[in-house]
Structure 1
């Protein structure tokens, strides 16, 4: 039985190089076979948690964002103390006329309101800073929104005092929003 042309790709099975004189025999061609998979080894290059692309430890940008959230907590607590002391000092004075007491009491009320808002903002930043280590994508989105609102509030009502909040809010949003931050918050847990 003849198979026809020896250069026919649809010819007989076997090694096509075996029939050619002058060429060394090769055990196989193509890519080498991959090594066997170790079921106990972590997947990827230095990554664990069940698949490639998921960091085994918190990336540096996310760590920096967490530290910046704690700095925001400290700044808000300082603001709470300062506004509370200012509001308490303005309430203790004896006023001679109705008009001056009305404007000063309004200022004291505004100071108390800012003090309470600053305390609430510090609690929110502390909760987010605590959730960064084990939180999911919801914590990431909440942190992004919190950081953006912090930056906007640092720009608008408190221009001089709010510059640190503006810078910290922008940096937290950038570090949490980067791809390594997304990989950290979207990693499988278990």
Structure 2
């Protein structure tokens, strides 16, 4: 009795991609996805805070007495700063999908500014700033992690 010969399949040859196309795209790491979610949430909360501040500024300038009306320009400036921060948060959340080291550094800088603001707010007794401080610390920590660096330093096409 003879046993049939078993042949192995031909070896799988992994070839490099066609010239000019580069390596296949990386999948977005979980930390980058979480960074984007946190940035969008912070942006939405800043939009809500800016809306409340704008309403308060209009109410003070319209219905306030002469002593309170002096605070209205300060409230308008504060509203503009909060809405500018919301714009930065949402823009950076969108740009995280494309990568680029400048975007990663911008996220770290914006999160550092937010953390400083939240620390000052906590020092002044505003306990509701604690979740924002935790979110900004997460953004800084995620921005310096190796997998996040690899995502942002990849060649984007």
When the two structures are superposed, what TM-score results if normalisation uses the length of structure 2? 0.79
Give the superposed CA RMSD. Answer: 2.2
- Structure having the higher Rg: 1
Q: Which moved more, 1:168-177 or 1:60-69?
A: 168-177
Residues 1:168 and 2:135 are matched in the alignment: yes
Matched, 1:182 2:149: yes
Q: Deviations over 1:101-150 (max 9, x none)?
A: 1x312322222111111100000111101100112111111111111111
Give the deviation of 1:189 after TM superposition: 2.4
Q: In 1, are the aligned partners of 2:114 and 2:133 still within 8 Å (CA)?
A: yes
Distance in 2, Cα, partners of 1:169 & 1:65:
10
Selected match of 2:14 from 38, 58, 79: 38
Instruction: Tell me what 1:127 maps to.
Output: 91
Cα 1:93/1:185, change in 2 over 3 Å: same
CA distance in structure 1 between the aligned counterparts of 2:84 and 2:64, rounded to whole angstroms: 31
Cα drift, residue 160 of structure 1: 3.3
Higher share of residues assigned helix: 2
> Is the CA contact 1:147–1:172 (under 8 Å) kept in the aligned structure 2?
yes
**Distance of 1:135 and 1:183 partners within structure 2:** 9
Give the one of 50, 57, 78 matched to 2:23: 50
Residue ranges of structure 2 left out of the alignment (5+ in a row): 1-10
CA distance in 1, matches of 2:131, 2:38: 10
Aligned residue pairs total: 140
State TM-score, norm by structure 1.
0.66
The equivalent of 1:144 in structure 2 is 108
What is the rounded CA distance, in whole Å, between the counterparts of 1:121 and 1:94 in structure 2?
28
Contact 1:50-1:188 at 8 Å conserved across structures? no
Instruction: Confirm or deny that 1:59 pairs with 2:29.
Output: yes
Note the C-alpha offset of 1:73: 0.5
